[in-house]
Structure 1
Amino acid sequence: MKKVVKSGSIKFLILLSILFTSSEIYAQYGYGGGGYGYGRGGYGYGRQRSTIPQAQETPKEPEPKTAEQLVDGEMPSLTEALDLNDFEQAVLSSVLKKYVQERIEAQILKLPPEKMREVYENITKRQDEELKAGLPLEKYEAFVALQKEGVAKTLKKKKKEKRKKTKN
């Protein structure tokens, strides 16, 4: 009886080894399904490539922002820096939108540098006159100072002043 069990287990081991090696041979050499590319034109395995070159899409340039988008993006920081109420905020926003639009139009014209400087000075002069008429004097002066120093520096100064007031 021991011989029967041994021969049965040997047969079983041989069968298992044949199964494992046949799948390995199939994986390595591609037998089965034509083998070596028969019947598939040689493209049976690996990455499929097209002979037609693919056109690379050029990334679209971001559209330039409009005057309204530029001003709306800056208004929260300007409002905070100048402590504007709703009316003053509306006046400042409308005036800035108008003159930023004029500056954008001047850039589109691509004038020579001397002429461009002259146009910008004229736009700035008219903007200042309109802001002086629409805003209270202290807010206008604060806006002019803000333009010279920059919004970030003005906001830092305000934070420092608040800290000093809270410490005292």
Structure 2
Amino acid sequence: MKINGTHLVILFIVLLAGSELQAQYGRGYGYGGGGYGYGSGYGYGYGRQRSAIPRVQETPKEPEPKTAEQIVDQEMPGIAEALELNEFEVAVLSSTLKKYVQKRIEMQILELSPEQMREGMEKITEAQDEELKAGLPLEKYEAFVEMQKKGIQKTKKEKKRERKRQKKKKKNKT
């Protein structure tokens, strides 16, 4: 029997299509027992085979930088709790911080030299401190400055310790 070229091409296509279908749908090995009655756990499977068709992966988008409002709004609950601020003090601190965080972001966008950046940041910090001194009670302002040095978490822990000490003193007095 003689095999001509068309028969050979058809045979090749059938074999290729069969292997492609096998790669796409497998025989259910390892995937809950689908196809031909061979479920996972029988020891026959090789897992799902890869397709010959390449898949295009999307490049992950870079997260958009947060705005000054988003940054301050995210941090304010922790700051308010750590410093035990009332609503008015929260409003004053929040508006002041938003204003000066925005200025810091704008400075970073300008990409100035390190010396110019340092000088600009110092001026922004001085202006922020003056505005906060005017808007907050002295003890709250000093607590805020101390919190900036230590961090919010440490300040919260110290406040908790202080409350516990005061409770112990009250118990000991009675």
- What's the TM-score, normalizing by structure 2? 0.70
Distance 2:161 2:144 in 1: 19
Q: Determine the structure 2 residue equivalent to 1:98.
A: 99
Matches within 5 A, 1:28-67: 40=14, 42-44=16-18, 45-48=21-24, 49-51=51-53, 53-67=54-68
Amino acid at match of 1:65: K
Amino acid at match of 1:126: A
Q: Determine the structure 2 residue equivalent to 1:24.
A: none
Amino acid at match of 1:88: E
Amino acid at match of 1:142: A
Relative contact order, higher structure (CA 8 A, sep 6+):
1
Q: Cα gap change, 1:39/1:124 in structure 2, threshold over 3 Å: closer, same or farther? A: closer
Sequence identity of aligned pairs in percent? Answer: 63
Q: Determine the structure 1 residue equivalent to 2:90.
A: 89
Deviations for 1:66-92, whole angstroms, at most 9, x for unmatched residues?
A: 110110111011111111111110000
Q: Secondary structure at the match of 2:17?
A: coil
Shift of residue 147, structure 1, vs aligned partner: 1.1
Distance 1:98 1:41 in 2: 69
Query: Bigger radius of gyration, 1 or 2?
Result: 1
Gap runs ≥5 in structure 1: 1-36
Distance 1:42 1:137 in 2: 81
Gap runs ≥5 in structure 2: 1-10, 25-50, 170-174
Shift of residue 40, structure 1, vs aligned partner: 3.6
Distance 2:137 2:124 in 1: 21
Matches within 5 A, 1:1-168: 40=14, 42-44=16-18, 45-48=21-24, 49-51=51-53, 53-168=54-169
